């Protein structure tokens, strides 16, 4: 239904950011340490891959089509990047079944930076999900990012719902990526080839959500044969908790927490005893944070939330 960011040949809704980066690059003033920060699913990784293809394909056949914000799938750099074999590109990302980006991944990248550039073209290092750098990998990254070799660009991608170390953030030029609700819906409709109002209960659509997450939730629902049109927020929360879909599925875990936050927001607007609800919300979020930080079981926490707030 939706391509991986590296294979998404069409850029949707982020043209202003793209054109700004390309303008800076063509003027030879593009910062060599860029941090793209914003909600998960906005298209930050896709944006990065389009900027990368523009730079790497500039002297190639089938180079980047800037007028249409499109990567040519026959382009050499596009193919090499997707085969993880481009001599001037290196990716660091959270590996499957891993909870953190390991220091060995950063060390491999450092080895890459010390190799000669191919055709004297820029070398580009993309680090996705930097919020998952552990202490050791973060410290190793700081050393190389402090004074990178000449003609090397670092593009870091951050889900701003997660914290990163200020020492890393301070060494990069921050670009805050955001899109409006209407733009999010329009992009989602294009990605899905269908109006999302036909796929989601309006109770869910009214919550500001990113295109990537809209699409991934639809994919999950199709896999589990769930008709999201039939599920309002509370019903969907109960289903996700009762079926324990959040176990071994990080995306659904994050979705569940987002929906719980939405539940608290809606209740806050309705209730008179706002202080009591705020206390409950803060207590729950603190427990969720600690469960993730210390790798604790979350099942009892979600069941407690359902018992006290959804069944009351």
Average pLDDT, the chain: 92
Q: What is the mean pLDDT of residues 280-307?
A: 88
pLDDT at 1 over 70: no
Confidence (pLDDT) at 141: 96
Give 61-94 pLDDT, tens digit per residue: 999 999 999 999 999 999 999 999 999 999 999 9
Residues of the chain with CATH 3.40.50.300: 5-176
Give the pLDDT band (50/70/90) at residue 208: low
Confidence (pLDDT) at 21: 98
Cβ partners under 8 Å of residue 177, min gap 6: 14, 17, 36, 37, 38, 42, 43, 44, 47
Confidence (pLDDT) at 27: 97
Confidence (pLDDT) at 96: 79
Confidence (pLDDT) at 311: 80
pLDDT at 2 over 70: no
List the CATH code of the domain at 5-176. Answer: 3.40.50.300
Confidence (pLDDT) at 289: 84
Residue with tokens 């324990």: 244
Compute CA distances 80 → 89, 92, 98, 156, whole Å. Answer: 9, 16, 25, 20
**C-alpha angle 231-211-200 in degrees, rounded to nearest 5:** 20
According to DSSP, residue 152 is labeled E
Confidence (pLDDT) at 63: 98
Closest by CA to 164, choosing from 37, 76, 269, 258, is: 37
Give the pLDDT band (50/70/90) at residue 312: low
Confidence (pLDDT) at 236: 95
Closest by CA to 71, choosing from 120, 19, 6, is: 6
pTM: 0.91
pLDDT at 209 over 80: no
Sheet arrangement for strand 33-38: 89-92, 123-127, 152-159, 33-38, 173-176
Confidence (pLDDT) at 65: 98
Confidence (pLDDT) at 276: 83
Q: What percent of the chain has pLDDT above 70?
A: 98
Inter-residue contact 238 to 293 (CB < 8 Å): no
pLDDT at 296 over 70: yes
- Exposed (0-12), middle (13-18) or buried (19+): which is 173, by Cβ within 10 Å? exposed
Confidence (pLDDT) at 216: 92
Residue with tokens 């820029």: 122
pLDDT at 250 over 90: no
Q: What percent of the chain has pLDDT above 90?
A: 76
Inter-residue contact 229 to 199 (CB < 8 Å): yes
3-state secondary structure of 256: helix
Give 171-181 pLDDT, tens digit per residue: 999 999 999 98
| C-alpha span between 275 and 132 (Å, rounded) | 33
Give the pLDDT band (50/70/90) at residue 3: low
Give 18-39 pLDDT, tens digit per residue: 999 999 999 999 999 999 999 9
């Amino acid at each position: 239904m939706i391509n991986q960011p590296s294979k998404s040949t069409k850029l949707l809704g982020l043209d202003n950011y793209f054109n700004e980066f390309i303008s800076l690059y063509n003027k030879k003033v593009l910062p060599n340490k860029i941090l793209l920060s914003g909600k998960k699913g906005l298209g930050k990784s896709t944006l990065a891959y389009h900027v990368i293809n523009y730079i790497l394909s500039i002297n190639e056949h089938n180079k980047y089509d800037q007028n249409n914000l499109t990567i040519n799938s026959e382009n050499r750099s596009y193919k090499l990047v997707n085969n993880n074999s481009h001599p001037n590109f290196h990716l660091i990302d959270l590996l499957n079944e891993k909870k953190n980006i390991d220091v060995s991944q950063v060390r491999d990248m450092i080895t890459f930076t010390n190799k000669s550039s191919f055709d004297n073209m820029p070398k580009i290092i993309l680090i996705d999900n930097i919020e998952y750098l552990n202490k050791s990998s973060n410290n190793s990254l700081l050393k190389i990012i402090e004074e990178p070799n000449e003609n090397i660009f670092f593009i870091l991608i951050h889900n701003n719902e997660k914290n990163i170390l200020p020492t890393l953030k301070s060494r990069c030029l921050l670009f805050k990526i955001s899109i409006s609700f209407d733009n999010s819906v329009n992009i989602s409709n294009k990605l899905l080839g269908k109006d999302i109002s036909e796929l989601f209960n309006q109770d869910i659509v009214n919550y500001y959500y990113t295109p990537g997450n809209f699409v991934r939730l639809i994919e999950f629902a199709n896999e589990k044969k769930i008709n999201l049109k039939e599920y309002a927020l509370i019903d969907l929360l109960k289903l996700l908790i009762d079926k324990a879909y959040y176990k071994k599925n990080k995306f659904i875990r994050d979705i569940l927490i987002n929906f719980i936050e939405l539940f608290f927001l809606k209740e806050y607007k309705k209730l008179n005893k706002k202080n009591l609800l705020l206390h409950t919300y803060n207590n729950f979020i603190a427990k969720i944070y600690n469960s993730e930080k210390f790798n604790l079981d979350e099942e009892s926490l979600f069941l407690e939330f359902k018992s006290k707030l959804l069944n009351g």
